[in-house]
Structure 1
Amino acid sequence: MKALIPFPEPSPELFSISLFGMEFALRWYALAYIAGLLIGWRLIVALVKRPALWPDSGPPMRPRQVEDLLTWVILGVVLGGRLGFVLFYKPAYYFEHPAQILAVWEGGMSFHGGLLGTILAAWIYTGRNAIPRLGAADALAIAAPLGLFFGRLANFINAELWGRPSDVPWAMKFPTMCHDPAWQGCPTAGEWFYYGSELARHPSQLYEAALEGLLLGAFLLWLALRRNALKKPGFIAGSFFAGYGLARFVVEYFRQADAQFITPDNPLGFAIGSGSIGLTMGQLLSLPMVALGLALIALSRRRTPKPA
């Protein structure tokens, strides 16, 4: 297989500084989280400042409450994302090495775990502050694709979570970052290198950024601003869950499965099934999201008052 588009080999770090003998770096992955949360926060604030978009001209939150909710969401994303990765993908390893569970700086975050953490954090905050939960869910759902978009771009910059081998014209060979020259056999620490055995692969991170981020985000905004969907509490949130679940299910056919599921008898890394027929862990975790999304959409339609 021949890669026709070379990987641009960006640095995973924007910059680094040394203070008191310690190295501090700002990475694209961290910036993606920051950008997604901050821009999402401002988007929700802008929406709640437009009462006409909401049922009975009453948004579910005040701008200050959106800011407070952001703090809870950050905790939910980080803790849920890490624990989700531990439980969904590498439970045996972390049960044997429990001290590594909180080592988030070594990588390993699960979107589905982060989503569950966000739902739990938002559930607690809205309950304590008497905020309509479906309305708050709609507001968070509109902002979520921004975080997904930036996060998938960061995955691409880090040359991680790439796709399955392919000979499409836009396939790429993804390099490896040199961290330990003696152990990895690479020339210079902090630079990309190739072992020489890399295969051309789908840049599935960009597929996800387009589907889960741009397309889904644009669709939700269209529903909110052009179809008055925020007047049906739960409809936007349901559309997000169903839309993300479908997008992730489709992209999993192009994305390389997690290494722990790949064996000589299961080269495609299915969590269930074998041969050429099966479902990956990402697809299994996405099916409940689709079901939840459809249930919320049905609930929102039943709760919407019918015109006389």
Structure 2
Amino acid sequence: MHQVGVLALDGVVPFELGIPARIFGAARDSTGDRLYSVTTCSLDGRPVRTEADYQLTVSHDASLLATVDTVVIPPSHALGPIREEGRLPDTLREALGGIRPGTRIVAICTGAYVLAAAGLLDGRPATTHWREADHLQRMFTTARIDPDVLFIDDGDVLTSAGVAAGIDLCLHIVRRDHGSDIANDVARACVVPPWRDGGQAQYIQRPVPDHTTPGTAPTQAWVMAHLADPVTLADMAAHAGVSVRTFTRRFREEVGTSPGRWLVRQRVDLARHLLESTDWPVDLLANRAGFGTGVSLRQHFHTTLGVTPQAYRRTFRAARPDA
């Protein structure tokens, strides 16, 4: 069983603190056995002040971090010298120094400050909450902070944006470890979307759609049921019963992107699932995902994810014990 250790610092934000246990705790194999064990610790094993109006009692001190396979650092609103001076307190530096080489280290939201102060982000891509990204970059100039993404997977160091982006990152880790079927089961159990791309924008500033205007959700559902068909923008507008111009405007207001970009994303996601769960050749898979030809699939897949379909299949099929 994969051991996950969560370090709760003073001022920890309870919502993000609970994400690892909720997501990893819901991951089960085909026999119903847990795939992860999640344990929370504090630096000294004593109760931890939270950002809310209560304390948390834990059963372990930071020596736990030397025994686990993945360390998760949730955000804190009391980072003090870490955020303002880029300096780790001695107790925290000692705790992080005890982590074994090769351990996967994950930061949610402002947990990235801790990694940066420890030198773990030097020369590496990372992200944090969009409000903190500029400050983090100024404090730690050798890190490569991207303020526009939900999460970044840089192998053994992973970082996420704020709040719900921690869910996306933990689901991504489950997917990387065990494939899309188990990750999708976790998402269903937790009643969250199974996949939001790590490169999706954190914050899209757009007006809230007028609630009196008919939405595009029914048309989105119709398209999802016909991804293999040659659906066009005119088809979507006709289904919604409005002009192409009106449909495009409403779609952008509700979804934050164009109908065409959204459609490609849905087809790429379907192709990803088929690459993980079937042995179909690329041309057949491309047809079932609505791309028509393998050439079209390869182009869109590489543009969206930065890898070829075959490379993606090798990576994620290899992660599945029943592949």
Higher helix share: 1
**What's the TM-score, normalizing by structure 1?**
0.28
**What's the TM-score, normalizing by structure 2?**
0.27
